[in-house]
């Protein structure tokens, strides 16, 4: 059985004090939660606080982005080794805001993925279609292109160290969540794509759902057989709602063990 992961993407939010309060509240609230993995993705400037406050807890942290390579004349960018220095285990790659707002194409996303793998950061590779693409029945084609571009660059074996996140662009930050059935259909398609290359990997790969997940809609999503947790944006900025999502994941996981 795959261990669920609930990850909070804080995006470009929060002061130093707000990040401290949120980290402390999540740390307190997560005491005793051991059936699932929990990770937070603060902004770069709050990673040091995450490292200080979350060391010696089971909560891990990661960055929301990195740039290609180890170092160089890339003003304003942050490299994989710099993130490792701050104790990051994970890094988000290919988030829809990076693909669409910052126009990161398949080649750049794949190069970033490779840079993360090179320094043993675990990428959370985000995949997802826009509303227009869904309406024109292109969802599977887009997901396949995004996944295959990644596999072609880093090789199928590297995916063992990754997490995938299906995040329909139309559901991110909009309050429009995919129904559990819509999300399950895409998760199951992703798993089938993986299985064509390596069945064992397909069975063990954690595939998170992201897109307006809240404490009150999480259980329905987590009940789906191919949804292994969530990448949470807005609802991760408040400890109570983020922990509510974590608790929903714990409950589903325990019920899954019993069934
Ligand atoms: C995200 O940023 O990855 C996300 C899913 O955001 P939200 O939960 O706010 O839709």
Q: What is the DSSP string of 80-128?
A: HHHHHHTT--EEEES-HIIIIIS---HHHHHHHHHHHHHTT-EEEEEE-
The closest alpha carbon to 165, from 143, 181, 193, belongs to 143
Q: Name the residue at shortest CA distance from atom 2 of ligand 1.
A: 233
Q: Which residues contact 137 (CB under 8 A, 6 or more apart)?
A: none
Mean pLDDT on 85-110: 98
CA–CA separation, 105 and 130 (whole Å): 14
Q: Which atom of ligand 1 is nearest to the CA of 95?
A: 3
- pLDDT value at position 66? 98
Q: Which atom of ligand 1 is nearest to the CA of 126?
A: 3
Mean pLDDT on 112-132: 98
Span between the terminal Cα atoms of the chain, in Å:
12
Mean pLDDT on 195-206: 97
More confident call, 106 vs 259:
106
Using the mean position of ligand 1's atoms as its centre, give its distance from the Cα of residue 73 in Å: 31
Using the mean position of ligand 1's atoms as its centre, give its distance from the Cα of residue 178 in Å: 12
Q: Which atom of ligand 1 is nearest to the CA of 92?
A: 3
With contact defined as beta carbons under 8 Å apart, do 128 and 96 qualify?
A: yes
Q: Name the residue at shortest CA distance from atom 1 of ligand 1.
A: 233
Q: Ligand 1: which of 11, 101, 163, 177 to mutate, judged by most atoms within 8 Å of the beta carbon?
A: 11
Q: Please say if the pLDDT value at position 236 is more than 90.
A: yes
Q: Pocket around ligand 1: residues whose beta carbon is below 6 Å from it? A: 9, 167, 172-173, 210-213, 231-235
Using the mean position of ligand 1's atoms as its centre, give its distance from the Cα of residue 41 in Å: 12
Q: State both tokens at 88.
A: 């990051």
Cα 55 off chain centre by: 21
- Domain 7-258 listed as CATH 3.20.20.70: yes
- pLDDT value at position 176? 84
Rg (CA), the chain: 17
Q: State both tokens at 179.
A: 């129904």
- pLDDT value at position 38? 98
Q: Which atom of ligand 1 is nearest to the CA of 97?
A: 2
- pLDDT value at position 257? 72
Mean of the per-residue pLDDT values for the chain?
96
Domain extents in the chain: 7-258
Using the mean position of ligand 1's atoms as its centre, give its distance from the Cα of residue 155 in Å: 28
Q: Name the residue at shortest CA distance from atom 4 of ligand 1.
A: 233
The percentage of residues in the chain with a pLDDT greater than 90, rounded to a whole number, is: 93
- Model confidence band, residue 230 (pLDDT cutoffs 50, 70, 90): very high
Q: Which residues contact 172 (CB under 8 A, 6 or more apart)?
A: 96, 97, 128, 210, 211, 212, 233
- Model confidence band, residue 219 (pLDDT cutoffs 50, 70, 90): very high
pLDDT digits (tens, 9 = 90+) for 145-186: 999 999 999 999 999 999 999 999 999 988 888 999 999 999
- pLDDT value at position 254? 85
Which residues are known to be catalytic?
95, 167
Using the mean position of ligand 1's atoms as its centre, give its distance from the Cα of residue 161 in Å: 22
């Amino acid at each position: 059985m795959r261990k669920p992961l609930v990850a909070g993407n804080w995006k470009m939010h929060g002061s130093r004090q707000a990040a401290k309060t949120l980290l402390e509240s999540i740390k307190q609230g997560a005491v005793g939660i051991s059936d699932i993995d929990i990770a937070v993705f603060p902004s770069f400037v709050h990673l040091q606080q995450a490292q200080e406050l979350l060391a010696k807890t089971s909560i891990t942290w990661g960055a929301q982005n990195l740039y290609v390579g180890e170092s160089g004349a890339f003003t304003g960018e942050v490299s994989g080794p710099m993130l490792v220095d701050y104790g990051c285990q994970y890094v988000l790659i290919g988030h829809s805001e990076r693909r669409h707002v910052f126009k990161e194409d398949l080649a750049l996303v794949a190069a970033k993925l490779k840079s993360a793998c090179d320094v043993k950061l675990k990428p959370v590779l985000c995949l997802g279609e826009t509303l227009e693409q869904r309406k024109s029945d292109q969802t599977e084609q887009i997901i396949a292109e995004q996944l295959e571009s990644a596999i072609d660059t880093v090789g199928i074996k590297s995916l063992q160290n990754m997490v995938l996140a299906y995040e329909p662009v139309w559901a991110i930050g909009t309050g429009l969540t995919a129904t559990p059935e819509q999300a399950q259909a895409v998760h199951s398609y992703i798993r089938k794509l993986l299985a064509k290359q390596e069945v064992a990997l397909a069975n063990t790969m954690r595939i998170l759902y992201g897109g307006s997940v809240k404490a009150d809609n999480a259980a329905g999503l987590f009940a789906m057989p191919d949804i292994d947790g969530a990448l949470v944006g807005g609802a991760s900025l408040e400890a109570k709602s983020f922990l509510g999502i974590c608790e929903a994941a714990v409950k589903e996981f325990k019920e899954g063990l019993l069934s």
